[in-house]
C-alpha cells in the first residue's frame, strides 16, 4: 500500500498571501496524484489531477507540481473561500486508492 | 449537471447490516466507475470500494473485504453498498463518488450519508 503523507497538518495564512502545501508518497506514483478541497460540512471537490492539471472550473490561483514522491499544491493569493482542508490522493498503484491525512489552511 | 444523492445511512448496532444507495443523474452512468469513500468523524478520507462501469470488476480496501459488497443497477442509475457485520470503526459519512474518464480519481461527489455503529 502506498502511504501518502501531507505537511504541515495546519497552515496559518493571511488572505492574499501564498500557501504552499506538501504531499509525499512512500514510493513513486509518477504523476498519478490528485488534490481535493473540502470545506466544513461539504463533500470534497476535485482541484488538480495528473499532479498539475486543474479540474474544470478551478481558478488559476491553484497550481500543482511535482512527480515521483514529492508534490506541492500552491494557492497563489488566498481568498476567503480557500480556507479549507486539502487532501492529496494517489491513483498510481491500487487497490487501495490512498489519501493523505490532509492539510488544514486556516486564517492567520 | 452531475448529481449524486446518497441515502440509507442511520444508526445500527454492532454486528448489524445496512444498505446504502446512491442515485446518479446528469451523466451516462454505465460508462463510469463509481466508488464509495468514507470519512470518520473529524478524520480524513478513506477509499472503501470501487466498481467498474459494467459492474464486472469490484475492488475493496482490506478492512471491509468479506463484509461489504458494492453493486450497481445501470438500468436505475443507482450504486449500492451492502454493509454487513458492522463495527464501531465503520462509523463515518459515506460518500458516493464518480470516477473520472480513465483515472481512478473522483471528479464528482455526493453530499454523503452518515452511518453510526453503536449499541
Query: Is residue A40 classed exposed, middle or buried when 0-12, 13-18 and 19+ CB atoms within 10 A define those classes?
Result: exposed
pLDDT for position B49: 98
Alpha helices in chain B (DSSP H): none
Provide the shortest C-alpha distance from residue A91 to chain B (in Å): 6
pLDDT tens-place string over residues B60-85: 999 999 999 999 999 999 999 999 99
- Identify the CA nearest to B37 among candidates B22, B25, B52, B48: B48
Query: Is residue B29 classed exposed, middle or buried when 0-12, 13-18 and 19+ CB atoms within 10 A define those classes?
Result: buried
Nearest to B105 among A38, A49, A102 (CB): A49
Q: Which residues contact A41 (CB under 8 A, 6 or more apart)?
A: none
What are the Cα distances from residue A93, in Å, to A89, A90, B34, B79? Answer: 11, 8, 17, 24
Mean pLDDT within A90-101: 96
**Quick one: what percent of chain A has pLDDT higher than 90?**
98
- Identify the CA nearest to A6 among candidates A26, A32, A31: A26
Scanning every residue of chain B, which has its alpha carbon at the shortest distance from the alpha carbon of A85?
B44
Contacts with B, A 32-91, CB within 8 Å: 32, 34, 36, 38, 42-46, 49-50, 55, 87, 89, 91
**Quick one: what percent of chain B has pLDDT higher than 70?**
100
- Please tell me the distance from the alpha carbon of residue B35 to that of residue B50, in angstroms, as a whole number: 4
pLDDT for position A59: 97
Residue B95 has pLDDT above 90, yes or no: yes
Interchain CB contacts (distance < 8 Å): A and B: 62
- Please tell me the distance from the alpha carbon of residue B1 to that of residue B104, in angstroms, as a whole number: 21
For residue B102, what pLDDT band results from cuts at 50, 70 and 90?
A: confident
Amino acid at each position: 500500500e502506498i502511504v501518502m503523507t501531507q505537511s504541515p497538518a495546519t497552515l496559518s495564512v493571511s488572505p492574499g498571501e501564498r500557501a504552499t502545501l506538501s504531499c509525499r508518497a512512500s514510493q513513486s506514483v509518477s504523476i498519478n496524484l490528485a488534490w481535493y478541497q473540502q470545506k466544513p460540512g461539504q463533500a470534497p471537490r476535485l482541484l488538480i489531477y495528473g499532479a498539475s492539471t486543474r479540474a474544470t472550473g478551478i481558478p488559476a490561483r491553484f497550481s500543482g507540481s511535482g512527480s515521483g514522491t514529492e508534490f506541492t499544491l500552491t494557492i497563489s493569493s488566498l481568498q476567503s473561500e480557500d480556507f479549507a482542508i486539502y487532501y492529496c490522493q494517489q491513483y498510481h498503484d491500487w487497490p487501495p486508492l490512498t489519501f493523505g491525512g490532509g492539510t488544514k489552511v486556516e486564517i492567520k | 449537471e452531475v448529481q449524486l444523492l446518497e441515502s440509507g445511512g442511520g444508526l445500527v448496532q454492532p454486528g448489524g447490516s445496512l444498505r446504502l444507495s446512491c442515485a446518479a443523474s446528469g451523466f451516462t452512468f454505465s460508462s463510469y466507475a463509481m466508488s464509495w469513500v468514507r470519512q470518520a468523524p473529524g478524520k480524513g478520507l478513506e477509499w472503501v470500494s470501487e466498481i467498474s462501469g459494467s459492474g464486472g470488476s469490484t475492488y475493496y480496501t482490506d478492512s471491509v473485504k468479506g463484509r461489504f459488497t458494492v453493486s450497481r443497477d445501470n438500468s436505475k442509475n443507482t450504486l449500492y453498498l451492502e454493509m454487513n457485520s458492522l463495527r464501531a470503526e465503520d462509523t463515518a459519512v459515506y460518500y458516493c463518488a464518480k470516477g473520472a474518464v480513465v483515472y481512478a480519481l473522483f471528479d464528482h461527489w455526493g453530499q454523503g450519508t452518515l452511518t453510526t455503529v453503536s449499541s
